[in-house]
Structure 1
């Protein structure tokens, strides 16, 4: 039994006229009649009652027509669904992200992505940058929203956001009231540092910029800012962290004396998934820089 035979059968069942069905199918009547006869022979029962004046479905033919329509509807849905997956419009996407992305670019980007791709199920995992790299290799996540630099030839990485860093100090700190703060002014004061395990790039840059006295390290920026608010030290943080502990922490713009903070997305170089590629294109076009 061939798909085209079923298409021929449906045309005749709807027209109840072999001549009109043949015209609709852009073929001549004799081969159409032959195909219907072959189909009936294969099925083992007649589909039509025929005479010179009338063509009508048998009871079995009516049931068969109803079921074949359901089959073609399902086939159409399968084609549409598969096409949507191929275009990256449906499916599941697992995204790893660093904690600081939640008060930076992630909420805006995900909100817009989910609006444009409502049939994509997005699963989020909060992981440090090193943990995301491992998860990408283990295929536990499809996309990583992380902090560069990423030195891995098996991963593609795109920088999608770059913001300046600012100096976070307790509200009552002497630097908070100093009109112009330079790197040299930071030397006497202890620092609270985001752990190198969390963000090696920023850690190394801060050490290179001002060789700080490190009082305490933490794994999350929220903890860093909390420790600054508690008076344990000062800290270099991305500008996007300025909405944290604003009552207890002052954020000083040091006029480009501090490093910049970049956010990137990474994915497996060998991953040809249309859904991954769709997110990458979206991120490149829509993530704020």
Structure 2
């Protein structure tokens, strides 16, 4: 049994609704359901009665819930005392983020962290495509929301979300009316891409791994989504992006079409373990504790 499973049980026991509980925990409903089933199977018990209409605590679950809540309160108090003693409740935190990357995640992360650490002033700093490390490579930021791959072999990261690839096309493109496309159908099109300084991130969004011996035809270089979508609306070329960008950057003259044969693109929180301020360390621990991570979930942030 893990502390994460206890938190999942407590939140579901309070909400009695998988959707609301998953939203509070920043995880998906299937992940929550799997964790609860694993907890029940570990002890051979049933904690919840479920049907298509409702979720209810069993008598055993209802008796156990206040004990779990009390235990978690004790853990939180111990952690809070450590934070107070270490002085991490005060100070400034520079949080970088790549433009358009996890926009909804950024707001949720900052809001929940500042509620837990009201004396820490979070300064979100936006970076364009010229620096997909969002300030980590230069030291301008301590922690950043990025979209791998990036060339940061000494950094660590936690993957917070994943999104499907979509093609951004001019509205009069021959494939603009399609419900979905494959990457190979678009590799001969001129493409709008990031600056060369983006390094492996630029190659990733050029789909270089799928091109073989076919080099891309660069139609234009853009460092922001505004510049990218403007070039595409003018008919200069296409681009590859993610499903969240399609929601936030819908513009006249362009169409987004899902790409069905590409691995998901990830959004991650990244940092250098050797240069963390107490405030940055507090943010990472806060995410690990409240977003359902174990220590083993950390991975390197180098090229992937």
TM-score range, shorter chain: 0.5 to 0.7
The alignment status of 1:231 with 2:232, answered yes or no, reads no
Q: Does the Cα contact within 8 Å between 1:160 and 1:283 map onto a contact in 2?
A: no
Corresponding residue for 2:13? Answer: none
**Correspondence for 2:208:** 207
Residues 258 and 118 (structure 1 numbering): CA distance in 2 closer, same or farther, change over 3 Å?
same
Q: Is the 8 A contact 1:150 1:157 kept in 2?
A: no
| Structure 2 counterpart SS, 1:176 | coil
The structure 2 residue matched to 1:132, chosen from 135, 138, 141, is 135
Provide closer, same or farther for how the CA distance between residues 131 and 278 of structure 1 changes in structure 2, counting only shifts above 3 A.
Answer: closer
Are the structure 2 counterparts of residues 94 and 184 from structure 1 closer, same or farther at C-alpha, using a change threshold of 3 Å?
closer
Q: Which has the larger radius of gyration?
A: 1
Q: Paired residue for 1:62?
A: none
2:98 and 2:233 map into 1 onto residues whose CA distance is: 22
Alpha-carbon distance in structure 1 between the residues aligned to 2:230 and 2:273: 38
Counterpart CA distance in 1 for 2:122 and 2:179 is 46
User: Does the C-alpha gap of structure 1 residues 282 and 82 become closer, same or farther in structure 2, counting only changes over 3 Å?
Assistant: closer
Aligned-residue Cα RMSD (Å) equals: 3.1
The aligned counterpart of 1:98 is 98
| Distance in 2 separating the partners of 1:163 and 1:196 | 24
Alignment gaps of 5+ in structure 1:
1-79
What residue is the counterpart of 2:108 in the other structure? Answer: 108
Q: Match of 1:58?
A: none
Aligned match of 1:250 in 241, 246, 255?
Answer: 255
Q: Secondary structure at the match of 1:141?
A: coil
Partner of 1:148: 148
Whether the 8 Å CA contact 2:137–2:152 is kept in 1: the answer is: no
Residues 164 and 178 of structure 1: CA distance in aligned 2, closer, same or farther (over 3 Å): closer
Distance 1:134-1:248 versus aligned 2 partners, 3 A rule: same
Give 1:178 shift.
3.4
TM-score (norm. length: structure 1): 0.60
Aligned length: 205
Unaligned residue ranges in structure 2 (runs of 5+): 1-79, 293-304
CA offset digits 1:30-71 (Å, max 9, x no partner)? xxxxxxxxxxxxxxxxxxxxxxxxxxxxxxxxxxxxxxxxxx
Relative to the length of structure 2, the TM-score reads 0.58
